[in-house]
Amino acid sequence: MVKKKNATGRHRCPCTDKTQKSVSHMASSKGLIQLDDEAESDTSAAPPQPHITIQSQQGFPDRVYLVASVIYQNNHLEKPAAQRLVNYGKERGLQLPEVKDEEMHRAAYELAFSTLKYQELLEDMMIDSCCYLTQPMPDEQMSLVAVMLYDFQNRKFLPRECKVDEIIQEVRHVEDYLLRFKTKLAASLARCRIKHDLLSIECILPESVKKKQERSSNLPLYAWVNTLKSSLDEIQGVLKSAGFSQVKSIGQLEGQTFCQDPHCGDILVFPAQLKAQLYSTKLLSDHKLIIQDKSCSLGPNAVCSLLPEEGDVLMVGSFSGLTVSHTAALIAEKYKANRINRPSVYVCVNNCTDAQREELELTVSAMGCTSVRLILEEFQSLHTGDKRLQRVRVILLTPKCSVSAVSNPVDFILQENGDTDLLQDLSQGSIAQSKLESLVAQQRKDIDHALMLPKVLAVVYSTCSSYPEENAEVVRKALQQAQARADQEGEPKQPKFRSSPSPFMSSEYAKAMDETDSFFMLEPTEHTNGSFLAVLTRVPEPAVKEAPNEVIARANAKGILDKLGSNHLTRKEHHENSSRMKKAASVRTTQSQLSVTIQPKHHQTKRSDSTVLCGHQDFTNMKQSSQEKPKSLRSQATKGTTSSSFSYSRPECNSSSCSSSKLEKSLHTAPVTTTLRYSSSSATPAVPAARSRGPQKEVLKPVLFVLPPVHFPNYFPPQHSRSRFSPSLSCKWKRQTQIVSSRSGGSLSKDAQEIPVLTRFDLTNTKMTIKKS
């Protein structure tokens, strides 16, 4: 007896309700059935609706069973011969029969995936009911028996009540076979439940599979706004006018509500049962709102935030036309003001079949994308000289992964062109080690090649896996490999790439994390599927720090210093000149008979027992700018007078030519001008260096010169000597006994016993007059 529908149009099977949701999630939508009723009443006003003709409670069309059997045949668990109870034949890798629409294709994969989950239970039922032993079926048809048996027990062993568009004799033959043994099959199922103490057949599944199955029935719908055709404000306005209300968080979703995703601003979230209502707004059919899993939208958003204005994007891995369109739409919206050099999106499609490539092109065209370029070559064959890669700055790498963090793997694999060979492993809750190693090896190759491209500034690596081998470990090993390669090439030991925080992390949270833990991860929950995202950015080249001598050498090579005057010496030249002056000064000190000491004014002392004539150079009155040429220190003597002047000067003579013999000769010639030289030394203790506010001043060292004997025929006492000199000289006399011989006979005069001789003088006012007799 066939059960009647209740008021909502749904069959009531409490014991198998969760299993029915796993077989056909869309068929369990209450709003979906309501939409069909509304479409029948007013077809003129209703937009194109999704094809919802497949319901697991009533069975499937013959074509769905046939396609599901092929999928099961290609992916079922093949046991060893000693443990094998049912033979399915040896053929694998069969080509799928053609299906007329996408909904039947999806329903066939859902049915095959559910059959894979319960393969062990279904085989026990065949053996325990004796149907396989008493009336065996050909091995080639046992896959069809398995998928139809699962659907048969899911319908409580009741006949199909679906609309039949096509009759396939093979399917009808197996259906009649199962109907004949339905009593024995039902009894066998009951014994299995008692034996394993099962409230429902779902209890026999692994714990991880059960959790995913429960989460998949409650996952909300994620939809991103196609900014090439609409805007976020426009979409929100249309939804509110259609009766939707906006809430603040996903936890508040209930009824006709929606909210904005906390990580991606262009994504809206809806309750799972509102897909039919969304079609009624024409937002989905007009490609303004695109339903896609959130994990597929993280990568495009991260790429958009990292891409510079004059740069392109390269997409590599496993993805759908929706992901490509989302990336292109985000980039076009960000740089819509740049109409000349708009960024392009290059897509490697070498792993896609012809059908998948054609579907991608149609999807991209329907979304309104014009900046997408396809690359048919394999990614690892692309070299740095490829013209298409010259502007590529960011790579979005979404390789094939285990999809172990996705609660609804069938929908995800079909939508994102994933690997259907993983269905058997996913149905058992774990991935075989051999398959995992194969996936990791390919992921390593892709990320290593991405890090080798010299013009790439960032690589975004995204997976939907819960295995660390596919996530953090792959990234860390790739960074180590890149560093090892740089060391072998003799490059600096600074790393080329580093792990950076993703744009979905808050700034405070990103700063608190270590560089090795800056990966973004979403754990699978009832609100979202799990995902992993890593952002690898190129480390900028360190600034080159040149030593001063290197800067001077480079300036000399470019001829910059040639334009400067000869008075502008380099530090090295000034040091060499100072060394030569010190050597000359040390030679002259050995020839001292008469010394002239130049001291600052505040170092002068008066002593009662001696008189010293000292010269003072007033530094405060000699402020000169760095642009003025220094004056020379000179001592001038005219006929009957001797004049001396001092100032800062660049040395002109570095030898000891100013000897005593030359000075004697010059004094016998009138008028005579004598130039006094100086040398600087920073270590002279007698003359402390004064703090200068202007250009740097040099400390003067005592300079010695020799004068010939001066004859004073008429002796004048020291007390009268002060009146014979200008009072401004402030001279101090020192008496010194000297025996002076007369020119005529060499005899000494009495008055010349003691002659005051000018041995030391202070050139404070720079002039002094000495009279000869």
**Residues 6 or more apart in contact with residue 469 via CB below 8 angstroms:** 436, 440
Place of tokens 């690892």: 380
**Alpha helices in 468-570, H assignment, sequence order:** 472-488, 507-512, 548-557
Average pLDDT over residues 451-472: 94
pLDDT band (50, 70, 90) for residue 773: very low
Output 282 or 715, whichever has higher pLDDT: 282
Residue-averaged pLDDT of the chain: 74
Q: Which of 244-258, 287-301, 339-353, 488-502 has the lowest mean pLDDT?
A: 488-502
pLDDT digits (tens, 9 = 90+) for 298-336: 999 999 999 998 899 999 999 999 999 999 999 999 988
Average pLDDT over residues 493-515: 67
Average pLDDT over residues 373-398: 93
Residue 289 reports pLDDT greater than 80: yes
Cβ proximity of 316 and 395 under 8 Å:
yes
Cβ proximity of 614 and 600 under 8 Å:
no
Cβ proximity of 671 and 651 under 8 Å:
no
Average pLDDT over residues 128-132: 87
Portion of the chain with pLDDT greater than 90, in percent: 44
**How confident is the model at residue 137, as a pLDDT?**
87
Cα(290)–Cα(369) distance, integer angstroms: 14
Residue 623 reports pLDDT greater than 60: no
Average pLDDT over residues 414-428: 92
For residue 288, give the amino acid letter: K
For the chain, what is the largest distance between any 2 Cα atoms, rounded to a whole number of angstroms? 167
130 is an active site residue: no
Cβ proximity of 435 and 501 under 8 Å:
no
From the candidates 264, 369, 464, 614, which is the catalytic residue?
464
**How confident is the model at residue 291, as a pLDDT?**
95
Residue 64 reports pLDDT greater than 60: yes
Q: Which of 322-331, 332-341, 546-555, 643-652 has the lowest mean pLDDT?
A: 643-652
Residue 135 reports pLDDT greater than 60: yes
Q: Which residue from 271, 178, 173 is spatially nearest to 218, judged by alpha carbons? A: 271
Q: Which residue from 267, 261, 258, 262 is spatially nearest to 224, judged by alpha carbons? A: 267
Average pLDDT over residues 556-577: 61
**How confident is the model at residue 406, as a pLDDT?**
95
Average pLDDT over residues 248-260: 92
**How confident is the model at residue 99, as a pLDDT?**
85
CA 3 → CA 10, 12, 13, 20, distances in Å? 10, 8, 10, 15
Cβ proximity of 524 and 407 under 8 Å:
yes
Average pLDDT over residues 610-616: 37
Output 119 or 633, whichever has higher pLDDT: 119
pLDDT band (50, 70, 90) for residue 581: low
Average pLDDT over residues 444-472: 94
From the number of C-beta atoms within 10 Å of its C-beta (0-12, 13-18, 19+), residue 76 rates as: buried
**How confident is the model at residue 684, as a pLDDT?**
41
Length of the chain, in residues: 773
Q: Which two tokens stand for residue 253?
A: 């979703």
Residue 758 reports pLDDT greater than 80: no
Q: Which two tokens stand for residue 716?
A: 């004048």
* Residue 616 phi, psi (nearest 5): -125, 130
Cα(680)–Cα(5) distance, integer angstroms: 112
Q: Which of 96-105, 177-186, 484-493 has the lowest mean pLDDT?
A: 484-493
Q: Which of 23-32, 60-69, 256-265, 351-360 has the lowest mean pLDDT?
A: 23-32
Its pTM stands at 0.65
Cβ proximity of 147 and 137 under 8 Å:
no
Q: What angle do CA 302, 304, 306 make, to 5 degrees?
A: 70
